[in-house]
């Protein structure tokens, strides 16, 4: 069976236009491939074939159930090692706990994600480089 190499692609599952723009702008100078998904149908298959270096979830998405998707991804032996970052409002401590329980590797408040986005993307682009 052929092993699929990790890509330098970041997949963001969100319907938040503000963060869509922020992520796109932060990734541009880093030459990272980005894909934004609103409807996660077929996400597992896409991830299996592309092996992104990072998944970003808007934990408040109205178009999907991020916690269930994260739980499903982390329960798959093929996908469990792909890092998942979730973001939310800083006051949503209960949602943060649930996201961590579901398997989210890093959960940040929107304000911190905004502040540290470029550094976070740089870190995960290095992750992709090490594992390709």
Number of other residues whose CB lies within 10 A of the CB of residue 126: 12
pLDDT tens per residue, the chain (132 residues)?
334 444 578 999 998 888 999 999 998 888 888 889 887 887 888 888 888 889 999 999 888 899 999 999 999 998 999 999 999 999 989 999 999 999 999 999 999 999 999 999 988 775 444 333
Taking CA atoms, 12 is separated from 29, 42, 61, 63, 94, in Å, by 17, 14, 11, 13, 22
CB neighbour list of residue 84: distance below 8 Å, 6 or more residues apart? 54, 55, 56, 57, 70, 73, 74, 103, 104, 105, 106
Domain 9-58+72-130, CATH among 3.40.50.2300, 3.30.420.140, 3.30.420.40, 3.30.565.10: 3.40.50.2300
């Amino acid at each position: 069976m052929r092993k699929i190499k990790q890509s330098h692609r970041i997949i963001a599952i969100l319907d938040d236009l503000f963060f869509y723009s922020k992520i796109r702008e932060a990734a541009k100078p880093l030459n990272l491939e980005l894909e934004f998904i609103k409807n996660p149908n077929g996400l597992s298959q896409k991830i299996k074939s592309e092996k992104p270096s990072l998944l970003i979830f808007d934990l408040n998405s109205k178009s999907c159930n991020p916690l269930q998707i994260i739980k499903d991804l982390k329960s798959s032996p093929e996908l469990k090692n792909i890092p998942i970052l979730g973001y939310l409002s800083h006051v949503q401590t209960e949602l943060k706990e649930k996201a961590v329980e579901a398997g989210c590797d890093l959960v940040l408040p929107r304000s911190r994600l905004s502040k540290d986005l470029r550094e976070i993307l740089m870190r995960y682009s290095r992750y992709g480089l090490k594992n390709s």
